[in-house]
Amino acid sequence: MNRQYSVVLGAAAFALTTFAAQAGAPDAGASAFTSQCQNCHNVVDDDGEVLAGRPNVRTGPNLYGVFGRQAGTVEDFRYGASLVEAGDEGLVWDEENMVPYLLNPVDFLRETLDDRRARSQMSFRVRDEGTANDIIAFLVSLSPEMEEEETAD
């Protein structure tokens, strides 16, 4: 494990024990991301460095900086109308609301928009909440806020 990675993970572990009640395990989340998400998503920072997944994967939006971001707003990604509408109505991703989204994106959008005809372009579901929490913990460990917190100390 390189130094930068372990610093980021260390900061994530700190933040998770501090803030998250049902925190997942970033290590387990990393392998779950590899097997379940990286066919469609990657995590690429603003300098173009690939933090997770592979370069040039564009089926799903880049997940770098997803927490605290309005849903459906990665530039140049062609989202479905329902996710964009949810973002316009105030959906901002956090560690709690991403769990039900990952478990069932269609149901999540239908409930959020109160519209039974809402659709999702993400045709994938995580099987259980524990895995969803692990993946979220992994994504948190790669988030820019974490790196800023680390350097601010």
Q: Which chain residues interact with ligand HEC by CB under 6 A?
A: 36-37, 39-41, 59-61, 63, 66, 71-72, 74, 79-80, 83, 93, 98, 102, 120-124, 126, 135
User: What number of other Cβ atoms are within 10 A of residue 67's Cβ?
Assistant: 17
Q: With respect to ligand HEC, which residue has the nearer C-beta, 123 or 151? A: 123
- Tell me whether residue 26 or residue 72 sits nearer to ligand HEC (CB atom): 72
The alpha-helical segments, DSSP class H, found in the chain are: 3-19, 26-36, 81-88, 98-103, 105-113, 129-141, 144-152
Considering beta carbons, is residue 8 or 83 the nearer one to ligand HEC?
83
Least distance (Å) between residue 32 CB and ligand HEC? 7
